[in-house]
Amino acid sequence: MASCLSILLLLLVSSQSPAPAFSASVASAGRSDDATIAPAPPSCAARGVRFHGRGIRIADDLFADCDEDGAPRCYRVGAAGKALVPCEEAASPGERASREPLAASNGTQQHVRCRVGDVEFDGLSHYLVGEMRRPGSVFADCANGVATCFEDDGVADSASRRIPCDGAELAARRRRLGVYTAGQGATAWPHRVVCVRWQASFRQEVKELWYRAFQEYLVKTGIHFVSFLDCRARFGAKTTVCNDCQTYVSFTAQSSGCSASVGFFTDSPHELDVGGADCANIGTFLHELGHVVGLYHEHAHPEREVIVLRDQMSSISSNNYAIAKRDETATTKYERRSVMHYDANALCVPKNPKLRYCDVTETAADGCVEPTPKHCDRSQQSTFGQTDTLTPQDVATILKMYEKVPLHPNAPAPRSRSFRGAAFDASGDSSSWGVDEDLA
């Protein structure tokens, strides 16, 4: 097994409040072990954007595939799946305002840059306000001179909400975010206790998977998941646990994907959503709980051994694939098999690891090689990606992050069975399903 590696955010508040770590993997992402190199796909144009590949974000929640005959096929993604829409649909005022193409200095169109306010950039996942996974931050994708801005809500593995690329609005967000980051950043959960509110009904077999996932974190890391309904009775009044029992993670099943908020913070809601058809498996549950306790994606590691094919990225936001900045993180060893590592076809091990490949935030103008399918060694596709258990390095990363976080005296022993698989009140309210009770 390759050596493991995970990433920890720098401590933002104090030495007693470690910031989130990096790690991850999406079970719903596909995998192919086909080592055959596909020919370069045809180029398509839609809504003023030229592209190739599939699952390309054209605007807001609009995506497009470039078919083999060069014809674009546009669609929106919702709870019911893909809904085809005309590619010629009129652009919104916000979309038109975000398009500020800048030709390269040599007059060619090879590297068309974008401008938002006083910031000029190219590539994807360029942060204009704040930083990755800081709720309220803003990042932008630049594709063929078209800038598209998104709000980072602190949720990993999901599509971010599109916002106008407006200079005045971004300046106001910088001021608001400055107050926020000076106060409360995303950190480890106090006393290693995570409060949970069940807002979705799960089948019995799915509840058993949640129990297994909770138990794995409890036994291996000492992190305890407790019903917010039981928080005050167990930990008392005016407790630092879960921000005096007021901060909890809402477990829902509303979207068509699998996603979760990252780390502990008090200025916005926490959510874990597993509404996607492929979410109900132990690997995905461990992955999303990893985000909850503070882990980021393992393939965001500065020393990752995979490259990203941006034209094969799924419909989730580009910041899920970007490398973390070294000046914002401290690192442990990279782990190809981390539960927090994507295993999608958008990632591959390069045939020539000595080349410097572009991150999604870069283009060839930055002196790197833009990855294409011909650079991939698909025979190694099974050597990285999510497992169905926390690896030793995943555990080491979490313990490093929480090493200065003391356990609460009322927390359960590491091997107690502190979970009940099915407990609903008379009204059938699934929020009463306590994770702090004996397994039924």
**Catalytic site residues?**
288
- Dihedral angle computed from the Cα positions of residues 136, 186, 302 and 395, in that order, rounded to the nearest 10 degrees: -150
Question: Residues 258, 296, 155, CA angle at the centre, nearest 5°?
Answer: 45
Nearest to 26 by CA among 186, 260, 199, 249: 260
**Residue 126 assigned as binding residue:** no
Backbone angles phi, psi at 57, to 5 degrees: -75, 120
**Residue 297 assigned as binding residue:** yes
Matching residue, tokens 């973390």: 324
- Segments in 240-281 forming alpha helices (H): 242-245
Give the gyration radius of the chain's Cα atoms. 22
65/56 Cα distance (integer angstroms):
7
CA atoms within 13 A on the CB side of 44: 24
Nearest to 346 by CA among 368, 328, 372, 325: 372
Question: Residues 245, 247, 252, CA angle at the centre, nearest 5°?
Answer: 120
- Can you tell me whether residue 391 is helix, strand or coil? coil
**Residue 287 assigned as binding residue:** yes
**What are the tokens at 157?**
């593995």
Nearest to 170 by CA among 151, 146, 147: 151
Q: Are the beta carbons of 123 and 361 closer than 8 angstroms?
A: yes
220/253 Cα distance (integer angstroms):
27
Positions at the binding site for Zn(2+): 287, 291, 297
